Each structure stands twice: as C-alpha cells, then as structure tokens.
A and B are shown apart, each in its own frame.
Chain A
Amino acid sequence: DAKTTQPPSMDCAEGRAANLPCNHSTISGNEYVYWYRQIHSQGPQYIIHGLKNNETNEMASLIITEDRKSSTLILPHATLRDTAVYYCIVRVASGNTGKLIFGQGTTLQVKP
C-alpha cells in the first residue's frame, strides 16, 4: 500500500473552511484515497473516499489532483466539534488486502 504524508497539525477558525492536504505520490492505479477522523476517546470515523474524481458528501469534499499524487479534504464550515486527528489513507480497492494502514495523521484544532 502506498504511503501518505500529512502535516502534523493545523488550525482553523470556526465557521471557516478547513483544507487538509495529503501527499500520496506513490499511489497505484487501483488504490483509493480514504479519509477518517478520530475525535478524542472515540474510534476512527469514516469521512469520505475517492478514486480519481472529486467526491462530496454531507460531511466533506475530497479533491484529488489529476495525477492522483495528492488530495485535499475540505470541511466547508468547520465547527468546534470538528477538532480531531484526520487520517489520509490509500487502500487497494480489490483483492485480499483490504486493511487500512494508518499514519500519524493531521491534528486539526478548530478555534472560536
């Protein structure tokens, strides 16, 4: 599985958009980009995933560059409850290697 690189920490003002970057320059053609977050004392929570097209759901948007070597998770209107560690993970979409390999993630601090 390809490795990802994320900044260790970021701050964001409440109500503003939070843009979390992720580099995955060695991503393979059959690997998806997944985002999870982990709020203190809770298990990881699935946010969104994508292959090559941009994706949007009720929680966030995922922008993947055309060469697929990097992506950005966008929380459009961050709230204090979005303070968490955000993990960017690349994962093979088929075959028998379905596990998620977590890195250190980005600690997002949303400030009032």
Chain B
Amino acid sequence: EAGVVQSPRYKIIEKKQPVAFWCNPISGHNTLYWYRQNLGQGPELLIRYENEEAVDDSQLPKDRFSAERLKGVDSTLKIQPAELGDSAVYLCASSLGISGNTIYFGEGSWLTVV
C-alpha cells in the first residue's frame, strides 16, 4: 500500500514568489494534516482537514498561506508571497479518522526561499 505522497520534494524560490505543495494521502484516510518543520525543531501543525472541511486552521498564517482539499482526497498548500522565514520542511500526514488512529507522514517538501 502506498504511503502519503508529496511533491515537489525540493523547491528553491525567490522571496515574494508563490509556491504550492501537493499531497496525496493514504487511500481511505479521511483526515489530512499539514505540518511545518523548521530546522532543528519538531513539526508544528498548520491545518487539519476532516474530509474536505478544515476543522483546525488556527496555526495557519492566513495572510499568505492557503490550503484546499477538494473532494476530500488530495490537498494543496500554497504560500503567496513567500518570505525568507518560510524556509522549512512542509509535511503532509493522514489518518483514518481522528480518534486515536495512527497518523502517517509523507517525506516532506523542502522549501528554501532566497
């Protein structure tokens, strides 16, 4: 069974440019998470989806970040415009429901803003 798939794996952009990350969760997993991990730190939750509904986006910087999960499967996280401080690893994860079911992570998308 395929795991959580993310793309691109690596991205280098200039500041003020837009960037988008794509995530395909494990088949059948209705809960999808986006995390951000800064260098030397643990991952921090940005947004959580239950099917197509964003149920926890309190940590998402809404002035420049947006996310969508059309049809409750794949998801896209967008940053526009990117700032130097957005350089980080963006991790997508999924789980079957939310009540204690194990959360599985993708390999992450490494963003460098120059």
Contact = CB atoms under 8 A, between A and B. Distances in A.
Interface residues of A, number: 23
B48 interface: yes
Contacts of A103: 42
Of A46, A49, A98, A105, the most chain B CB neighbours within 10 A belong to A98
Contacts of B55: 96
Contact of B48 (A46, A87, A93, A99): A99
Contacts, number: 54
Interface in A73-103: 87, 91-103
B72 interface: no
B99 A98 contact: yes
Given A43-B91, A44-B91, A94-B100, A102 B43 contact: yes
Given A92-B100, A98-B97, A103-B42, 9 more contacts: A42-B107, A44-B93, A44-B105, A45-B105, A93-B100, A95-B99, A96-B98, A98-B31, A99-B33
